Structure 1
Amino acid sequence: MSNSTIWPKLIHHGGIDGVTGSCHRLRFSADRSLLVDCGLFQGQDADRGDGLDQHRVRFPVDDVLALVVTHVHIDHIGRLPYLLAAGYAGPILCSVPSARLLPLVIEDALKVGFTRDAALIGRFLDEVGTRLVPLDYRRWHALVDDARHRVRVRLQRAGHILGSAYVEVDSLDRSKGRTHRTVFSGDLGAPHAPLLPAPKSPWRADTLVIESTYGDRRHEDRRTRRARLRAAIDRALENGGTVIVPAFSIGRTQELLYELEGLVHAARNARWRDLEVIVDSPLAARFTEAYRELKPWWDAEAHRRLRSGRHPLSFDNLYTVDGHEEHLRTVEYLATTGRPAVVIAASGMASGGRVVNYLKRMLPDPRHAVLFVGYQAPGTPGHAIARYGPRGGWVELDGARVDIRARVGTIGGYSAHADQRDLLNFIRRMRHPPAHVRLIHGDAGPKQAFKAGIEAWASGCGHPVRVTLAHQS
């Protein structure tokens, strides 16, 4: 049998040579396929392309039975406007929490990258709303069941952000009597992350398509990262400075608030109890409100806090900044008064948004601190600050050179991504591990290290496995 007649086939339209732009197509025949995610390219991944034109959807969409969204980060759903513009007219499948959060992300993406026209944005959101099909976790959903194929999908919790899922796809080719189960990991979360249950491995997979963002490293455990967060804030309290935390509006912000509420609640000194925690992002505030509404999907620990009368995402020390003028006043106030505070502002890689104004004012001042809690993609200002800041370097922000005198730190344990051990556990804890593993969504070094780790595990337990790297289609 020739290779051309073996189905299903994997085709990748992003998330190949870097960690953004995830978009993967599973073809069941020449005229039927499933699309998993359709995200924007960012940072160095975007620099490889030809500007905004690289986001245009050039692959065929007539054969796509459905788009499945693993989670609502922009590097997984940001090309949705381009997908619809290319003529895609099918459903958008996602978890119930993701269906609540997705319109917020798309509205913001449209305002930043397309138009400020409220009527136009409203029409697009209405169109997206008619396509959304919220799916409960752990339940099969049939895409097609006819004389040629039976294809069904099931979402399982991925523990990355609220609503995140990995996707199980069962496909039956009736002409050959052959079934195949393909699992797409999406972005897997680290165990013991605040608010979210840890992901559990699927029972089986024939082919596993898995991310490799942190395929070459280990994260700190939760106790260590919480201690380091406390230590960074203690220094700010002593120095009369601000801790600036660049964080994406969804996921990381809410996890940090949860941890900070715990630290403030346990504090025994007045300085900590009076510490201001400022969320300077209207979008993050809207996401936090949505997170509160989605409490049924929180983990058991968070529910214990709620039952004890605490409010992990709405505590007394928490302040939000809304309008632009209030934002500018807050930057100036914290830069000049020496009032200790923690500011959480987007974007997570300091590539835009309100956090840039804080960095421009505070990076040259040693009283302040910048604390990174997530992956900093090469080519972003966040990557430059994290790399050169500890040695007294500089970074370019809004076209100007800014010297870095503030303390710069990174807490890897707050990454929303699984580390190498967690990724390997996802595979080896399957009752029936895959015969084929396809690595996506990672830089070259982590991919190769993760590939070696999988092959070493497989060799050690006598499980035959073929590990391949995604390539441009």
Structure 2
Amino acid sequence: MRDFSILHHGAADGVTGSCHELRLADGRALLVDCGLFQGAELSADGASARSPEIDFPVGGVMALVVTHVHIDHVGRIPYLLAAGFRGPILCSEASAMLLPLMLEDALAVGATSDRQLIARVLGQIERQMVVLPYKTWHALAPGWRVKLQPAGHILGSAYVEVQLHDGLAPSSPDGEWRVVFSGDLGAPYTALLPAPRAPWRGDVVVLESTYGDRLHAGRSDRRRQLRLLVERALRNRGTVLVPAFSIGRTQELLYDLEAIIAARDSADGFDWSSLEVIVDSPLAARLTESYRKLRHLWDAEARRRVAHGRHPLAFEQLYTVDTHAEHLATVDYLTRTARPALVIAAGGMCTGGRVVNYLKAMLGDARHDVVFVGYQAAGTPGAAIQKYGPRGGYVELDGKRYDIRAAVHTLGGYSAHADQGDLVRFLKRMRHHPAEVRLVHGDAPARTALAAAIKAELPGVRVVRSI
């Protein structure tokens, strides 16, 4: 019998609100992530919003480990502090730089307009942050260590290895337990980031399953599809609108767009100089600047581009929109004129943010295209557009119905998550395969499909898919 338990305070049967607790028999615990719920997962019954308040005891929590800075993994940290947590917040170098930016924006948008209060919260978080280098063990307590490994999801992302040994693991044959929390694993060829590598050992693995029921398109295929969409905009004199979260996919898209523009052929008949690439998100612009400052963490291919004088995240045709007034003027300009553009707008699931104004203005015009590059949680406007847009349906935005005449596309190859094959390979490539895999961060069909795939490849593994 194990001498520890794993409790799930979010993302147990859905894809948001990640928060997992490793608790020893004596009550001491390690918390991995503390994220907000989004979309239909805001409520247990679909009617009333689930409170972001912490509903579990934090007295025994010795430390919080942040796998990466997406809000569904870190958005409840301010509430964790309000509940009394004053332990270390362990994270990677890049996450330490990016986390305050993400939480400042989230607090300002969803919690309070009191800038002094936001500053106090961020100051407390920064005082508690402890930066851990990748691939290095960090002692939490006697017999209890943690290590971060690159996860390839976004810059700074990590999966977490926890080692329990000596008196903490008497039920293990060799006196040691290894528990692995995957966080969100990236696809092997994510732009800018080294691919994740499996750990040597994981006795129990808490594994994400977001895309456990599908396989992604390859990187070259997704770039080809993106180029075709840009050419469509040049041909139609319309806008390709990409709802995107401010970190991760925004930077990947810019990286690929720079490559497409650099490789353009004047003989193809398109006026590439007329294309505008617009990032309409102050947060995305700030995070992209941080990405540039952290280029020593980029992969070899990206660093080679820089060495050859190219600027993957700051090319000539790239524009950023800052103020709200500039945002409204940009929406008006693109809907009035026939200027071809690709707009990356804040609001990855279309639940809010600047993308909503673009959708209201452009969904009814067939010149335009809406392109989804990330997961759309059930109950979000993004999921509705993705489902009903290809049928000529409608979506409700701010209580009003908008017919969808714009073309709707999904580029699965831009997912920042590993697909089914990647997740199974992560387990298979461990030298010592796990005895138990607990599937989290996925809808029921994805968890069911991934469980079947794992059992087919690793029949001796116990898979828990319903927490």
The question of whether the paired residues in 1 share the 8 Å contact of 2:42 and 2:50 is answered with no
Superimposed CA distance per residue, residues 144-169 of structure 1 (whole angstroms, 9 cap, x where no aligned partner): 01xxxx10000000000000000000
Aligned: 1:169 with 2:162: yes
Q: Which one of the candidate residues 16, 26, 41 is aligned to 1:30?
A: 26
Name the counterpart of 1:370.
Answer: 370
Give, as a single letter, the amino acid of the residue that structure 1 aligns with 2:20. Answer: H
Map 1:66-145; keep pairs closer than 5 Å.
66-145=63-142
Give, as a single letter, the amino acid of the residue that structure 1 aligns with 2:156. Answer: G
The question of whether the paired residues in 1 share the 8 Å contact of 2:193 and 2:298 is answered with yes
Residues 104 and 22 (structure 1), Cα distance of their counterparts in 2 relative to 1, 3 Å cut: same
Q: Per-residue deviation at 1:45? A: 0.9
Superimposed CA distance per residue, residues 404-459 of structure 1 (whole angstroms, 9 cap, x where no aligned partner): 00011000000000000000010001111101111100000010000001111113
Mapped to 2, the partners of 1:34 and 1:115 lie a distance apart of 29
Mapped to 1, the partners of 2:107 and 2:131 lie a distance apart of 22
Mapped to 2, the partners of 1:248 and 1:136 lie a distance apart of 26
Name the counterpart of 1:386.
Answer: 386
The question of whether the paired residues in 1 share the 8 Å contact of 2:395 and 2:401 is answered with yes
Instruction: Give the number of aligned pairs.
Output: 459
Mapped to 2, the partners of 1:53 and 1:377 lie a distance apart of 16
Map 1:247-262; keep pairs closer than 5 Å.
247-262=244-259
Mapped to 2, the partners of 1:346 and 1:8 lie a distance apart of 41
Residues 314 and 446 (structure 1), Cα distance of their counterparts in 2 relative to 1, 3 Å cut: same
Mapped to 1, the partners of 2:166 and 2:385 lie a distance apart of 51
The question of whether the paired residues in 2 share the 8 Å contact of 1:12 and 1:470 is answered with no
Q: TM-score, with normalisation over the residues of structure 1?
A: 0.95
The question of whether the paired residues in 1 share the 8 Å contact of 2:43 and 2:50 is answered with no
The question of whether the paired residues in 1 share the 8 Å contact of 2:43 and 2:49 is answered with no
Give, as a single letter, the amino acid of the residue that structure 2 aligns with 1:69. Answer: V
Name the counterpart of 1:158.
Answer: 151
Mapped to 1, the partners of 2:289 and 2:3 lie a distance apart of 44
Superimposed CA distance per residue, residues 328-348 of structure 1 (whole angstroms, 9 cap, x where no aligned partner): 010000011010000001111
Name the counterpart of 2:344.
Answer: 344
Compare 338-347 and 272-281 and name the one that shifted more: 272-281
Q: Per-residue deviation at 1:31? A: 2.1
Name the counterpart of 2:213.
Answer: 216
Aligned: 1:298 with 2:291: no
Give, as a single letter, the amino acid of the residue that structure 2 aligns with 1:33. Answer: A
Q: Per-residue deviation at 1:97? A: 0.3
Give, as a single letter, the amino acid of the residue that structure 2 aligns with 1:110. Answer: L
Mapped to 2, the partners of 1:188 and 1:90 lie a distance apart of 26
Q: Which one of the candidate residues 179, 183, 194 is aligned to 2:180?
A: 183
Name the counterpart of 1:47.
Answer: 43
Q: Per-residue deviation at 1:268? A: 1.7
Name the counterpart of 1:412.
Answer: 412
Q: Per-residue deviation at 1:57? A: 0.6
Q: Secondary structure at the match of 2:212?
A: coil
Q: Secondary structure at the match of 1:329?
A: helix
Superimposed CA distance per residue, residues 3-60 of structure 1 (whole angstroms, 9 cap, x where no aligned partner): 6xx3121111000111000000001223211000000000111132675553211111
Give, as a single letter, the amino acid of the residue that structure 2 aligns with 1:444. Answer: A
Mapped to 1, the partners of 2:246 and 2:5 lie a distance apart of 35
Give, as a single letter, the amino acid of the residue that structure 2 aligns with 1:288. Answer: T
Mapped to 2, the partners of 1:401 and 1:175 lie a distance apart of 58
Post-superposition, which runs of at least 4 consecutive aligned residues in structure 1 deviate over 6 A? Answer: none
Compare 175-184 and 273-282 and name the one that shifted more: 175-184
Residues 418 and 227 (structure 1), Cα distance of their counterparts in 2 relative to 1, 3 Å cut: same
The question of whether the paired residues in 2 share the 8 Å contact of 1:17 and 1:45 is answered with no
Aligned: 1:15 with 2:8: no
Aligned: 1:59 with 2:56: yes
Stretches of structure 1 lacking an aligned partner (at least 5 in a row)? none
Superimposed CA distance per residue, residues 386-412 of structure 1 (whole angstroms, 9 cap, x where no aligned partner): 111011000001111000000110000
Compare 388-397 and 21-30 and name the one that shifted more: 21-30
Stretches of structure 2 lacking an aligned partner (at least 5 in a row)? none
Q: Secondary structure at the match of 2:312?
A: coil
Q: Secondary structure at the match of 1:54?
A: coil
Percent of counterpart pairs with the same letter? 62
The question of whether the paired residues in 2 share the 8 Å contact of 1:12 and 1:24 is answered with yes
Give, as a single letter, the amino acid of the residue that structure 2 aligns with 1:365. Answer: D
Give, as a single letter, the amino acid of the residue that structure 2 aligns with 1:391. Answer: R
Mapped to 2, the partners of 1:375 and 1:114 lie a distance apart of 24
Give, as a single letter, the amino acid of the residue that structure 2 aligns with 1:158. Answer: A
The question of whether the paired residues in 1 share the 8 Å contact of 2:3 and 2:169 is answered with no
Q: Which one of the candidate residues 204, 220, 233 is aligned to 2:201?
A: 204
Name the counterpart of 1:357.
Answer: 357
Q: Secondary structure at the match of 1:445?
A: helix
Map 1:219-234; keep pairs closer than 5 Å.
219-234=216-231
Mapped to 2, the partners of 1:31 and 1:137 lie a distance apart of 28
Mapped to 2, the partners of 1:176 and 1:98 lie a distance apart of 31
Q: Secondary structure at the match of 1:345?
A: strand
Give, as a single letter, the amino acid of the residue that structure 2 aligns with 1:30. Answer: D
Give, as a single letter, the amino acid of the residue that structure 2 aligns with 1:376. Answer: Q
The question of whether the paired residues in 2 share the 8 Å contact of 1:264 and 1:273 is answered with no
Mapped to 1, the partners of 2:390 and 2:196 lie a distance apart of 35
Give, as a single letter, the amino acid of the residue that structure 2 aligns with 1:287. Answer: L
The question of whether the paired residues in 1 share the 8 Å contact of 2:348 and 2:374 is answered with yes
The question of whether the paired residues in 2 share the 8 Å contact of 1:267 and 1:273 is answered with no
Give, as a single letter, the amino acid of the residue that structure 2 aligns with 1:397. Answer: L
The question of whether the paired residues in 2 share the 8 Å contact of 1:372 and 1:411 is answered with yes
Mapped to 2, the partners of 1:58 and 1:341 lie a distance apart of 45
The question of whether the paired residues in 1 share the 8 Å contact of 2:149 and 2:160 is answered with yes
